[in-house]
Amino acid sequence: MSSSTPEVTETAITGTARVKRGMAEMLKGGVIMDVVNAEQAKIAEDAGAVAVMALERVPADIRAQGGVSRMSDPDMIDGIIEAVSIPVMAKARIGHFVEAQVLQSLGVDYIDESEVLTPADYANHIDKWQFTVPFVCGATNLGEALRRITEGAAMIRSKGEAGTGDVSNAVTHMRTIRGELRRLSSLPEDELYVAAKELQAPYELVAEVARTGKLPVVLFTAGGIATPADAAMMMQLGAEGVFVGSGIFKSGNPAQRAAAIVKATTFHDDPDVVAKVSRGLGEAMVGINVDDIPVPHRLAERGW
Amino acid sequence: MPVPTIGVLALQGDVREHVRALEEAGAKAVTVRRPGELETVDALVVPGGESTTMWKLAVTFDMLEPVRARIAGGMPVYGSCAGMIMLADRIEDGAAGQQTFGGIDMTVRRNAFGRQVDSFEADLDFAGRGPLRAVFIRAPWVESVGSPVEVLARAEPGDRIVAVRQGPLLATSFHPELTGDAGVHSYFVEMVREF
């Protein structure tokens, strides 16, 4: 090399906000599927999933069986990591920072601090800045999303109501977040202080979001998506990608439904494609109306 | 070609970031999902994302052969990360049966730098243009190259090949679209103007 070449520092840094948030950018336009074993993970990968979410029971079963639900068995997570080449995510209980430490040590690619599991701490979420692995968290509104980002979340998903197959809460939460973003970006600067107070989020983050009109991290949707049309609607409403939980492996033909939801997510704005992939999918998951679930049993109420 | 029109393959991945970087580098950027849209562009960017997903969608929506045909016809293409994999003639650690567009005479190892906890950023020298902040996310590296391939950058650990060029085709393991530095995109837009 000639002496005129500028100096290049060779220090590589892991776990920066850019590296964590960047990972979520790579998932955009894709579908992340809940799987409970290696066989389901292979089906998801073959269908074109951008990542899989490893968990012990899908939300529909957690809801049906009750009890405390926790992080999955490390053997099961290892089995899924071995089985697929796409990223593997796993869930930790809200506030359970040791489950998160364990998941990081297993080498999962993203941790979902999830209301689908039984919360471990009813006051504090995990301090996600302490980890190299990135976190995704659920939110029902903008204030909740911004509090999670303040704690270090590198990706947000609207919560919806997991394990129902009822998309209505996913719609409500996505419309709420997007609506609050629009309102915030229309405010004059001198009203942002009160806006921060109302959102219960730090002023600096609120001011940044008001200026850019978007979250500083990727926004996916989750909770109740069961059909290709559900996924396409959530994308049209502004989701940057889709989590599908019980909707695939609680349906009649998981492989075909999974592939159909992937295609409908990419071509969400093309009704001809959504129509074509919606044909002959067999039974969708049975589903529960969110209205029939007593409020204390709604998972979206968890998180603060 | 005063202002080239460059498509960003929009099957999956960080499409918007490439659109922004291309516009900053002086190109007109459009998204491309269908063969008809591919015909309207002077060049193409294959973004970062999940290469297995892009492959499946490219097959399903009949994009694999049209992109291969344009590459054979000399269209300039730039691929970052998953895009690098899509431009490789040969891949290691791919999913069973995984296909690529191909075009660059190289072997690329998928997820070679490791899982997400190993993802990193570092400064490197790109094409002798000085230091550039590079973001590597579950990134591939180039295992080996054929004689027509020019190596444009290497990175620690292991002094691995992370940027290459073969004629009108450019590929990087890293994601310049995430850093706000349009240097690599400017380099590509210059390439497009030459071809």
In terms of DSSP bridges, do strands B88-92 and B77-80 run parallel, antiparallel, or are they unpaired? Answer: unpaired
Catalytic, A91? Answer: yes
Return the closest-CA partner of residue B103 out of B84, B115, B89, B90.
B89
Between CA A232 and CA B7 the distance in angstroms is 23
Comparing CB atoms, the residue among A16, A110, A259 nearest residue B116 is A110
Task: Supply the Cα-derived Rg of chain A in whole angstroms.
Answer: 19
pLDDT at A303: 85
DSSP character at residue A221: B
Residue located via tokens 């990972």:
A23
- Our CA angle for A34, A40, A45, nearest 5°, is 85
Contact B175 A109 (CB under 8 A): no
Distance of CA A1 to the CA centre of its chain: 46
Return the closest-CA partner of residue A251 out of A58, A78, A26.
A58
CB atoms within 10 A of CB A151: 16
Q: Answer whether A4 touches B (CB < 8 Å).
A: no
CB atoms within 10 A of CB A210: 20
Question: What is the average pLDDT value for chain B, to the nearest integer?
Answer: 96
Question: How close A288 comes to chain B (CA, Å)?
Answer: 31
In the numeric block, which tokens belong to residue A174? Answer: 């996505």
Residues of A with Cβ-Cβ distance to B117 under 8 angstroms: 14-15, 104, 107, 109, 132-133
Comparing CB atoms, the residue among B10, B50, B121 nearest residue A26 is B50
Between CA A10 and CA B129 the distance in angstroms is 16
Mean pLDDT, to the nearest integer, of B71-94?
A: 97
pLDDT at A239: 98
In terms of DSSP bridges, do strands A218-220 and A155-158 run parallel, antiparallel, or are they unpaired? Answer: parallel
Residues of B with Cβ-Cβ distance to A15 under 8 angstroms: 117
Q: Is the ipTM of this complex over 0.85?
A: yes
Residue ranges of chain A with per-residue pLDDT less than 70 = 1-10
Query: B interface mutation test: which of A8, A20, A33 has the most B CBs within 10 A?
Result: A8
Which secondary-structure segment (H or E) carries B133? strand B131-136
Between CA A174 and CA A141 the distance in angstroms is 8
Q: Over the stretch A158-197, which tens digit does the pLDDT of each residue have?
A: 999 998 999 999 999 999 999 999 999 999 999 999 999 9
In terms of DSSP bridges, do strands B160-166 and B169-172 run parallel, antiparallel, or are they unpaired? Answer: antiparallel
The answer for B 126-165 residues in CB contact with A (under 8 A) is: 128, 130-131, 135-138, 155-157
User: What letter represents residue A291's amino acid?
Assistant: D
Contact A9 B117 (CB under 8 A): no
Residues of A with Cβ-Cβ distance to B83 under 8 angstroms: none
Residue located via tokens 């291969």:
B68
Are B66 and B74 in contact by the 8 Å Cβ rule? The answer is: no
Are B135 and A23 in contact by the 8 Å Cβ rule? The answer is: no
Q: Over the stretch B1-36, which tens digit does the pLDDT of each residue have?
A: 689 999 999 999 999 999 999 999 999 999 999 999
Torsion sign over Cα B50, B188, B184, B166: positive
> pTM for the full model?
0.95
Which residue of chain B has the CA closest to A270? B33
pLDDT at A292: 86
Are A92 and A113 in contact by the 8 Å Cβ rule? The answer is: yes
User: What letter represents residue A8's amino acid?
Assistant: V
Between CA B124 and CA A100 the distance in angstroms is 32
Contact B94 A6 (CB under 8 A): no
Cis peptide before B66 (omega within 30 of 0): no
Are A91 and A117 in contact by the 8 Å Cβ rule? The answer is: yes
Is residue B49 classed as helix, strand or coil in its secondary structure? coil
Is A160 part of any known ligand binding site? no
Q: What are phi and psi of B65, to 5 degrees?
A: -70, -45
Between CA B131 and CA A248 the distance in angstroms is 46
In the numeric block, which tokens belong to residue A163? Answer: 């394990």
Between CA B108 and CA B112 the distance in angstroms is 9
pLDDT at A2: 36
Contact B52 A9 (CB under 8 A): no
Contact A14 B128 (CB under 8 A): no
DSSP character at residue A73: P
DSSP character at residue A283: P
- Helices A97-106, A74-83: axis angle to 10 degrees equals 40
Contact A15 B117 (CB under 8 A): yes
Is A34 part of any known ligand binding site? yes
Question: How close B28 comes to chain A (CA, Å)?
Answer: 22
Are B54 and B60 in contact by the 8 Å Cβ rule? The answer is: no
List A20, A91, A159, A263, catalytic entry: A91
Catalytic, B17? Answer: no
Residues of B with Cβ-Cβ distance to A262 under 8 angstroms: 53, 56-57
Torsion sign over Cα A8, A12, A17, A22: positive
Is A75 part of any known ligand binding site? no
pLDDT at A10: 53
Catalytic, B81? Answer: yes
Contact B49 A50 (CB under 8 A): yes
* CA atoms in the 13 A half-sphere facing the CB of A126: 31
Question: How close A230 comes to chain B (CA, Å)?
Answer: 18
Residues of B with Cβ-Cβ distance to A45 under 8 angstroms: 52, 95
Return the closest-CA partner of residue A27 out of B20, B120, B96, B138.
B138
Is A175 part of any known ligand binding site? yes
Are A90 and A108 in contact by the 8 Å Cβ rule? The answer is: yes
Comparing CB atoms, the residue among A19, A48, A134 nearest residue B53 is A48
Which residue of chain A has the CA closest to B83? A26
Comparing CB atoms, the residue among B12, B116, B128 nearest residue A87 is B116
